[in-house]
Structure 1
């Protein structure tokens, strides 16, 4: 018998808060629609809630079961079977939950707001593992070397204030020689787990197309797709344009990618060298309209060349398939891509992404990522409700203006930060800047979330 009680008032408040979030968005029904249900025994929602709350305490599931078994009514085998299930469609779960949260946020902003989808990947490291399913050698941009793990390809949504993760895929490698472990042969290829494993071995551009199609089918309100240089090419811009989205992306400074300009194919650096630049302290050097061509398909593209005030010879290139946008609007829209970098930092630092689950099952890793994303959705919604007075009620909705979108000067500041990192040939974000933005995010959270997350670090 334990003399010192391990449960305290804050734990009860935490459980109440998470229960309210799960009830508000009918997470139990969403899980059931994603093939997560039990014929008998404990409900899937109860098991999910235990996994959901783990990040807000300094104890693992094993420690919580040992010290406070009364609060966990099921055995550890039940928990592990839930995490390792290959029948649950976790990608669908993340998308449906995000769609429900967006429906709460969307009325708080005007219809003419440029909502965006953001695509990026981040390292999901398993450097000390050898037997994890589909474990591969991937390049770590922060360290500048290859390591063992996955590329966590993520699709997110933003309205300029709030960011929500929509979908994800832990990418392995398409090349057999780069894969350290193969997929388990015991998993039926027709199951959700089997399909997810197949997708993990597909090329990243193809996976991006699949994630965007699923977001389109879910009717996620967004007009633009933002991404970094790794995916920006005429072929990808044309494919995304055919899906019904416009692209605002950063173009790589290379002579290998050509656009039709002045009647012939030219690279962006060649256009830059030949063009007349703007004088004075303008934020951008110049912009031109070109054509992106792949096979027989052609679309118009506007290229905006952003200056580096400290080094005139250095510049960034932004590309937009919506040529009606002004240069300032293109810079402002692309500045929203910074939200996904803050999201990755938040998940890895505070929400135990990659640290909580040491399973070797690919299904368990996929489930772990989805649960971490669900935690971030709850925090993002809490922060929005805490800051946006229009969320309090109808009277406040009429009396207060909507939150301001990301300002042009702020977006330009972020893009210039990216330019500094490109020059240094380092990762796309700066550690100090991310820490400042992350601390600002935490300060706007309710006191309970702030305390619980601080205790985990």
Structure 2
């Protein structure tokens, strides 16, 4: 483990407090992330956890720092298929969500959000289960994975609960296969099998595990990529949750309205719109299907004006028909938290960029560590009522470390100055102290303050 420089090191004390309060060492052990002998895994985990704040890569940090392990130890740790990283992240998320829930009013709607994002490995060729996946931003197929993520939010904070790196259910789209040496009894094998499943099936698996662990929310939010009546019905009947989602006008998806089956476009053309420049154009009650007992399942569809194209419209569906139109729009707005989460992890926390491991276990371990960093920043921002954004908070942590490293170098230079003076002034300690003291007095006030700390 990297030696803690000083007791006043803000980042190190921050990490220490987070690890202690959330029992990271115990969570690692209970998730089978442990070693029988050798370096304790908490030392390796902490080393990897803080790399992004130090602004260095693994090799450089191992060479510069005083550590008790080598690079091979780090890579064996990341490549182990026996480590249950999902259980670790889920256990941590549950503890943080319960903590945040105490800070949240009962009147506020806490939600679960599911969404996917590109896990880019476009420069890779021999990564396990690498596939051609569709990038919704560029509208092209690229090499990588779909990172399906389930998160919790109360509108203020976002906590990643679970994720799955999806390859492709179509074997023709997979560029690399599964490792033949993987033990089928391990967690790593189960995660690999899951990566080739249908995205909606994996979504329900993540949702089931989150609910079983104790993560509770009033609504499940997702965008139009998952908004099919069959999926919505499965959430209601199988998971006892209401859904608020964006709808997409699809020619073969129907809703029952006034006894007739209509598409979304047909429905919009038949309902009466509000006059003027109203943001909410209209709302209508529909039937999306039947439950297990054959009873019709009602829902409300709210049509809102597309602010980017004033003549166009967007549609939101809520299975909680008691919600007012504006409340449906407001609650769905919390889904934006997952988008800022993706931006934060990729742009600041170096998701998919920090390491270039080839095994599937390696990528799962790396992603979990990145998500854990995000959780720490979210906890700091929430508990201290910090007005800084998570990006600003991240940079302030990095600046603090850079400042600490500069002070360490200055201390080394003062030590060398003292040694040089001892050789040329007859080893008179009083005179040496006076010269060093005069040098320090002429330093800027901020540096003197930090040297005195």
Question: What TM-score bracket applies, with the shorter chain setting the length?
Answer: 0.7 to 0.9
Name the CA distance, whole Å, in 2 between partners of 1:260 and 1:156: 31
Name the CA distance, whole Å, in 1 between partners of 2:223 and 2:399: 31
Residue segments in structure 2 that go unaligned for 5+ positions in a row: 404-453
The question of whether the paired residues in 2 share the 8 Å contact of 1:152 and 1:170 is answered with yes
Secondary structure at 1:305's aligned position in 2? strand
Secondary structure at 2:384's aligned position in 1? helix
Q: What's the counterpart of residue 413 of structure 1?
A: none
2:52 to 41, 55, 58: 55
Deviations 1:87-127 (A, max 9, x none): 11111111111111112211111122200001111100111
Report the CA distance between 1:448 and its aligned residue.
2.7
Name the CA distance, whole Å, in 1 between partners of 2:194 and 2:296: 29
Q: What's the counterpart of residue 213 of structure 2?
A: 218
Q: What's the counterpart of residue 157 of structure 1?
A: 152
- Is it true that 1:244 corresponds to 2:193 in the alignment? no
Superposition pairs of residues 24-423 of structure 1, within 5 angstroms: 24-68=21-65, 70=66, 72-242=67-237, 243-293=239-289, 296=294, 298-308=296-306, 311-387=309-385
Secondary structure at 1:317's aligned position in 2? strand
Secondary structure at 1:240's aligned position in 2? helix
Residue segments in structure 1 that go unaligned for 5+ positions in a row: 1-5, 390-438
Secondary structure at 1:195's aligned position in 2? helix
Name the CA distance, whole Å, in 1 between partners of 2:274 and 2:401: 51
Q: Which is further off, 196-205 or 43-52? A: 43-52
Q: TM-score scaled by structure 1?
A: 0.83
Deviations 1:405-457 (A, max 9, x none): xxxxxxxxxxxxxxxxxxxxxxxxxxxxxxxxxx8443466943565699xxx
Name the CA distance, whole Å, in 2 between partners of 1:129 and 1:277: 51
Secondary structure at 1:108's aligned position in 2? coil
The question of whether the paired residues in 2 share the 8 Å contact of 1:249 and 1:320 is answered with yes
Name the CA distance, whole Å, in 2 between partners of 1:46 and 1:300: 53
Q: What's the counterpart of residue 12 of structure 2?
A: 15
Report the CA distance between 1:8 and its aligned residue.
6.0
Q: TM-score scaled by structure 2?
A: 0.84
The question of whether the paired residues in 1 share the 8 Å contact of 2:51 and 2:57 is answered with yes
Distance change (3 Å), C-alpha of 1:7 and 1:23: closer
Report the CA distance between 1:311 and its aligned residue.
4.4
Name the CA distance, whole Å, in 2 between partners of 1:282 and 1:97: 43
Say what the alpha-carbon RMSD is for the aligned residues: 2.3
Distance change (3 Å), C-alpha of 1:385 and 1:446: farther
The question of whether the paired residues in 1 share the 8 Å contact of 2:4 and 2:12 is answered with no
Distance change (3 Å), C-alpha of 1:57 and 1:246: same
Secondary structure at 1:232's aligned position in 2? coil
Secondary structure at 1:110's aligned position in 2? coil
Name the CA distance, whole Å, in 1 between partners of 2:222 and 2:402: 29
Please say which structure displays the higher CA radius of gyration: 2
Name the CA distance, whole Å, in 1 between partners of 2:228 and 2:216: 24
The question of whether the paired residues in 1 share the 8 Å contact of 2:110 and 2:153 is answered with yes
Report the CA distance between 1:190 and its aligned residue.
2.1
The question of whether the paired residues in 1 share the 8 Å contact of 2:377 and 2:390 is answered with no
Distance change (3 Å), C-alpha of 1:443 and 1:66: closer
Report the CA distance between 1:185 and its aligned residue.
1.1
Report the CA distance between 1:309 and its aligned residue.
5.7
